[in-house]
Amino acid sequence: DKAVIRTGSDGRPYFMFQIVEMRKHQLIEAHVRCYFFSHRGRYRFVGEYMRLNRPNDELGASVLLAMPTLVIHSIDRYSPLMPPSQRHDTFPFPPLRECDGLQGSRDDYSCPTCGETFHTKVDLRAHIVYNQVNDEINGVPPEHSHRLPPETESANEG
């Protein structure tokens, strides 16, 4: 009945709670799923699936309830707990997590020029910088060549 939102060592917020089975007879195979229900409008309730980091929902989110288990949901740009103004809607695609890109299970960033996808912003930036040089050598017109977004270029100059 108690849950917290805590900032992790990486500075990101996480929704956490702990579960354990208190009875002497344990469940054979338990899985955890979390949903966020919100009231939008006068009569409309919306239920959204909350992706779990721990236990990993891509591996079935299995838990052994004989021991206390910490359940962790990352409040990132795909989380239903993130304010709507900061959310990144993935509809009609399956719900995502930012850590999917870091773990390599899903590409999170795509090149606006060629459409190639990458796991991290660092990989995307390296791709753009490398291809920017090749585009200049090969005479690709500036409007069709790889370019870093203006906010990225100015942030790196200062």
Task: Kindly report, residue by residue over 26-47, the tens digit of the pLDDT.
Answer: 778 889 999 998 877 677 788 8
Q: How many domains does the chain have?
A: 2
Q: Of the candidates 42, 65, 90, which is a domain's last residue?
A: 90
Kindly give, in sequence order, each residue whose CB lies less than 8 Å from that of residue 75, ignoring residues fewer than 6 positions away: 5, 12, 13, 14, 15, 81, 82
Q: Specify the amino acid at residue 2.
A: K
Q: Are residues 111 and 78 in the same domain?
A: no
Q: Are residues 78 and 17 in the same domain?
A: yes
**CB neighbourhood size of 73 (10 A):** 24
Higher pLDDT: 1 or 77? It is 77
Confidence of residue 106 (pLDDT cuts 50, 70, 90): low
Q: In the structure encoding, which two tokens stand for residue 14, read together? A: 């996480």
pTM: 0.59
**Domain interval for residue 41:** 1-90
96 within domain boundaries: no
Q: Are residues 25 and 81 in the same domain?
A: yes
Q: Are residues 12 and 65 in the same domain?
A: yes
Q: What is the mean pLDDT of residues 3-26?
A: 88
